[in-house]
Amino acid sequence: MLAVIKKRRSIREFLDKPVEKEKIEEILKAVMFAPSAVHRRPWEFVVVEDPEKKEALARATPWADFASKAPVVLVLCVDEELSREWLEDAAIAGAHIYLEATNQGLGTCWIQVRGHQSQTGEDSEEFVRQLLGIPAKFRVVALFPLGYPSSYPGEHQDDEYSPEKVHWDQW
């Protein structure tokens, strides 16, 4: 598992190559296996392949412009009524997306939606909700553009481990 974790990088540039449905489903399966508080599994996803919708998603936040170039964008939503710990559940789900995408030879990057504004000044969550017809009770947490990386910055190295940040038994 550490080998996949070391390969995981935030990828913002993709090859013009479709992502196989089987790989998307493996990523979604990995997310469904993620732990959640009281096993509530509050997440739901929108898989976006439509070029016009991806172009619009690229305007959802000031940092989302590269989403339009990805073959697929996964939209991570959570039902906050199902779990008080929805944000933690979403974070774990996002980590599973990152790791299984890497395992499938794909790249992705977390684009934060929650708490931001679109490029036109609208609330980013509401912007994405309206665009994709997401029910109002769902929080839109993040976008995950998925595709084959056009370049790769290399694996993380062991010297990135910082033992001074680890405190044993007390601070």
107-138 tens-digit pLDDT: 999 999 999 999 999 999 999 999 999 999 99
Give me the pLDDT at residue 140, please: 98
Q: Which residues pair with 147 in a beta bridge?
A: 107
**Number of folded domains in the chain?**
1
Give Dmax (Cα) for the chain. 53
Give me the pLDDT at residue 113, please: 98
Give me the pLDDT at residue 133, please: 98
Is 132 inside any structural domain? Answer: yes
Is 28 inside any structural domain? Answer: yes
Q: 110 with 144: CB under 8 angstroms?
A: yes
Is 155 inside any structural domain? Answer: no
Tell me how far apart the alpha carbons of residues 63 and 99 are, in angstroms, rounded to a whole number.
Answer: 22
Q: In this predicted model, what pLDDT tens digit does every residue of 41-99 receive, in sequence order? A: 999 999 999 999 999 999 999 999 999 999 999 999 999 999 999 999 999 999 999 99
Give me the pLDDT at residue 35, please: 97
Is 145 inside any structural domain? Answer: yes
DSSP type of residue 65: G
Is 157 inside any structural domain? Answer: no
Give me the pLDDT at residue 61, please: 97
CB proximity list for 148: less than 8 A, separation 6 or greater = 14, 15, 17, 19, 71, 105, 106, 107
What CATH number corresponds to the domain at position 120? 3.40.109.10
Is 170 inside any structural domain? Answer: no
pTM over 0.85: yes
Q: In this predicted model, what pLDDT tens digit does every residue of 146-168 receive, in sequence order? A: 999 999 999 999 999 999 999 99
Give me the pLDDT at residue 31, please: 96
Is 88 inside any structural domain? Answer: yes
Whole domain around residue 115: which residue ranges? 2-150
Rounded to the nearest angstrom, the gap between the alpha carbon of residue 27 and the centroid of all alpha carbons in its chain is 11
Is 158 inside any structural domain? Answer: no
